[in-house]
Amino acid sequence: STSKLWGGRFSESTDAFVQAFTASVEFDRRLYRHDIAGSIAHATMLARAGVLTEAERDLIIEGLAAIREEIEHGEFPWSTALEDVHMNIEARLTDRIGAAGKKLHTGRSRNDQVATDIRLWLREEIDALLAEIRRLQEGLLGLAEREAATVMPGFTHLQTAQPVTFGHHMLAWFEMLERDHGRLTDARRRVNVMPLGAAALAGTSYPIDRAYTAELLGFDAPAENSLDAVSDRDFAIEFCAAAALVMTHLSRFSEELVLWASAQFDFIDLPDRFCTGSSIMPQKKNPDVPELVRGKTGRVNGHLVGLLTLMKSQPLAYNKDNQEDKEPLFDTVDTLKGSLRAYADMVPAIRVKAGAMREAARRGFSTATDLADYLVRRGLPFRDAHEVVGKAVAHGVASGRDLAEMDLDTLRGFSAAIGEDVYAVLTLEGSLAARDHLGGTAPDQVRAAIARARGRISR
Ligand code: ARG
């Protein structure tokens, strides 16, 4: 036999490279707090079921608490030879408290243990991410409120389309994040199910009380099927899918901020503290934070595909393949958390350049649809009105003038239905105010939407 916790049936020790190759402690040690919490609950349940004595239970709980302290003070002797976080802690427990430590693993396997640890860890991380999404949403609402009536050109095909308010644009990002919040909340329900008791795969012969352990750990329920409980990582994949969507939203947002901060758009100013300079070009102020968030979206999308691929051919029940679930999952959480934090800090500090945005909206014939709608109110069929306005725009392009800058005679040259009152609809404010319905860009609607949004996120 060898010195391993599982060494009984082995006659030679592990190849040195294989030991390093199969070990996970370098990365799974970050689960230590949840591993210890799971073990304390397991020991508590075992004592109540009469499998451990109360004295053994107390020794185990005190020993684990002391180990947690050791880890947090950087004094824990982590060992690759002990493979993973679970066996490192278990071996240390026996070092510290003796024989009782060897009883902790009664009625348990690393298979249900690791699945439980990841779920406990991910549940906590999801709660932190949800709070960070809310903080970013609040920042967006504040910015939207400040700029509820600020005109900017709205785009389709990145060509000037119709005027919108900057506040309305920010509320679009709010809505995307609201769905992201819902997806993560929903995923959390499926994360919060307890594998413990499944043991290696089939359950255990001890008189365990899974409902009690689940209650101790704050799980909604024990998993129904032991084979499923130890083998599937769909909860992690689902989380990564939701995370990939949050990142995709932040990436689109980033793309706009990068464009808007350019000299060519000049719509916004990002605070210096969120930008960096160039080592050669003295004039540069680069929007690094949005660029990095856009870039980091790639690795999160990659982790999602990585985990799907990890799972796709695994037979029931647990396979060592699943040890590969952790690094992509951890990196997804870290990347998402950092990106949300940077955005939640940065968004309230975005400075809007209202004059440049107004000028861009004016230059792009953004009220052309309003002129067509005006002609429809004067009795023209929409298709004919479209044609008339198209000709007027062509004239504006050729003569370098916006529709609102053409005199009445010129406009009437395109349609006799045009009257003096046309100028009210050709202005940017007139166009905005006209879109006065739920979900529209009229400043009053934007303010009403902000009030509703505040109610929705405070529920
Ligand atoms: N380190 C392992 C993992 O991350 C723990 C479970 C190992 N179980 C086993 N039977 N080898 O999945």
Residue 353 parent element (H or E):
none
Q: Which of 323, 324, 326, 329 maximizes ligand 1 atoms within 8 Å of its Cβ, making it the mutation to test the pocket? A: 323
Q: What is the CATH classification number for the domain harbouring 42?
A: 1.10.275.10
Which atom of ligand 1 is the closest one to the Cα of 84?
Answer: 1
Write out the two tokens for 374: 């005006």
State whether 238 and 294 are in the same domain: yes
Separation of alpha carbons 239 and 190, rounded Å: 10
Q: Nearest CA to 352 among 431, 250, 291, 261?
A: 261
Q: Nearest CA to 34 among 308, 241, 219?
A: 219
Domain count, the chain: 3
Separation of alpha carbons 359 and 339, rounded Å: 32
Residue 271 Cα to ligand 1 middle (Å): 47
Q: How confident is the model at residue 291, as a pLDDT? A: 97
Residue 334 Cα to ligand 1 middle (Å): 23
Query: Among 79, 105, 131, which residue terminates a domain?
Result: 105
State whether 290 and 408 are in the same domain: no
Tell whether ligand 1 has an atom less than 6 A from the beta carbon of residue 332.
no
Residue 37 falls inside a structural domain: yes
Which atom of ligand 1 is the closest one to the Cα of 83?
Answer: 1
Give Cβ neighbours of residue 419 (< 8 Å, ≥ 6 apart).
Answer: 378
Residue 86 Cα to ligand 1 middle (Å): 9
DSSP letter, residue 272: G
Q: How confident is the model at residue 3, as a pLDDT? A: 79
State whether 274 and 164 are in the same domain: yes
State whether 284 and 135 are in the same domain: yes
Q: How confident is the model at residue 66, as a pLDDT? A: 98
Which atom of ligand 1 is the closest one to the Cα of 110?
Answer: 6
Residue 1 falls inside a structural domain: no
Q: Nearest CA to 142 among 338, 344, 293, 294?
A: 344
> Residue 98: left if φ>0, alpha if ψ -120 to 50, beta else—which one?
left
Residue 388 contacts residue 415 (beta carbons within 8 Å): yes
State whether 316 and 250 are in the same domain: yes
Tell whether ligand 1 has an atom less than 6 A from the beta carbon of residue 137.
no
Residue 244 Cα to ligand 1 middle (Å): 26
Query: Among 303, 335, 358, which residue terminates a domain?
Result: 358
Which atom of ligand 1 is the closest one to the Cα of 318?
Answer: 10
Q: How confident is the model at residue 218, as a pLDDT? A: 98
State whether 304 and 221 are in the same domain: yes
Residue 82 falls inside a structural domain: yes
Q: Nearest CA to 201 among 36, 315, 46, 83?
A: 315
Residue 340 contacts residue 246 (beta carbons within 8 Å): yes
Tell whether ligand 1 has an atom less than 6 A from the beta carbon of residue 322.
yes
Q: How many CA atoms lie within 13 A of 2 on its CB side?
A: 13
State whether 152 and 101 are in the same domain: no
State whether 246 and 302 are in the same domain: yes
The protein residue with its alpha carbon nearest to ligand 1, atom 12, reads: 323
Write out the two tokens for 7: 């060494």
Q: What is the pTM of this model?
A: 0.95
Q: What is the CATH classification number for the domain harbouring 425?
A: 1.10.40.30
State whether 133 and 244 are in the same domain: yes
Peptide bond into 317 cis (omega under 30): yes
**Domain, as residue range, for 215:** 111-358
Q: How confident is the model at residue 362, as a pLDDT? A: 86
Q: Nearest CA to 169 among 432, 430, 427, 459?
A: 432
Tell whether ligand 1 has an atom less than 6 A from the beta carbon of residue 114.
yes
Distances (CA, A) of 121 to 63, 172, 217: 21, 32, 12
Tell whether ligand 1 has an atom less than 6 A from the beta carbon of residue 312.
no
Pairing of strands 159-165, 151-156: antiparallel
Residue 416 falls inside a structural domain: yes
Separation of alpha carbons 169 and 451, rounded Å: 16
Tell whether ligand 1 has an atom less than 6 A from the beta carbon of residue 84.
yes
Write out the two tokens for 233: 């990582």
Per-residue pLDDT of the chain (459 residues; tens, 9 = 90+): 677 888 889 999 999 999 999 999 999 999 999 999 999 999 999 999 999 999 999 999 999 999 999 999 999 999 999 999 999 999 999 999 999 999 999 999 999 999 999 999 999 999 999 999 999 999 999 999 999 999 999 999 999 999 999 999 999 999 999 999 999 999 999 999 999 999 999 999 999 999 999 999 999 999 999 999 999 999 999 999 999 999 999 999 999 999 999 999 999 999 989 888 888 888 888 999 999 999 999 999 999 999 999 999 999 999 999 999 999 999 999 999 999 999 999 999 999 999 999 999 988 899 999 999 999 999 999 999 999 999 999 999 999 998 999 999 999 999 999 999 999 899 999 999 999 999 999 999 999 999 999 999 997
Residue 227 Cα to ligand 1 middle (Å): 15
Separation of alpha carbons 456 and 340, rounded Å: 20
Residue 401 falls inside a structural domain: yes
30 φ/ψ angles, rounded to the nearest 5 degrees: -70, -5
Pairing of strands 193-194, 221-222: parallel
Residue 27 falls inside a structural domain: yes
State whether 52 and 185 are in the same domain: no
State whether 41 and 154 are in the same domain: no
Q: How far is CA 402 from the centre of its chain?
A: 42
Residue 314 Cα to ligand 1 middle (Å): 15
Tell whether ligand 1 has an atom less than 6 A from the beta carbon of residue 110.
yes
Q: What is the CATH classification number for the domain harbouring 259?
A: 1.20.200.10
Residue 110 Cα to ligand 1 middle (Å): 6
Residue 36 Cα to ligand 1 middle (Å): 16
Tell whether ligand 1 has an atom less than 6 A from the beta carbon of residue 323.
yes
Tell whether ligand 1 has an atom less than 6 A from the beta carbon of residue 24.
yes
Q: Which of 22, 84, 231 maximizes ligand 1 atoms within 8 Å of its Cβ, making it the mutation to test the pocket? A: 84
Query: Among 105, 121, 152, which residue terminates a domain?
Result: 105
167 φ/ψ angles, rounded to the nearest 5 degrees: -60, -40
Residue 210 Cα to ligand 1 middle (Å): 21
The catalytic residue positions are 157, 278
Residue 439 falls inside a structural domain: yes
Tell whether ligand 1 has an atom less than 6 A from the beta carbon of residue 111.
yes
Q: Which of 119, 121, 320, 326 maximizes ligand 1 atoms within 8 Å of its Cβ, making it the mutation to test the pocket? A: 320
- ipTM of the complex as predicted: 0.97
The protein residue with its alpha carbon nearest to ligand 1, atom 11, reads: 320
Q: How confident is the model at residue 231, as a pLDDT? A: 97
**Three-class DSSP category at 161:** strand
Separation of alpha carbons 444 and 410, rounded Å: 34
Which atom of ligand 1 is the closest one to the Cα of 326?
Answer: 4
State whether 435 and 304 are in the same domain: no
Q: How confident is the model at residue 1, as a pLDDT? A: 61
Residue 2 falls inside a structural domain: no
**Three-class DSSP category at 138:** helix
Separation of alpha carbons 31 and 35, rounded Å: 6
Tell whether ligand 1 has an atom less than 6 A from the beta carbon of residue 113.
no
Only one residue has tokens 């689109």, namely 252
Q: How far is CA 100 from the centre of its chain?
A: 43
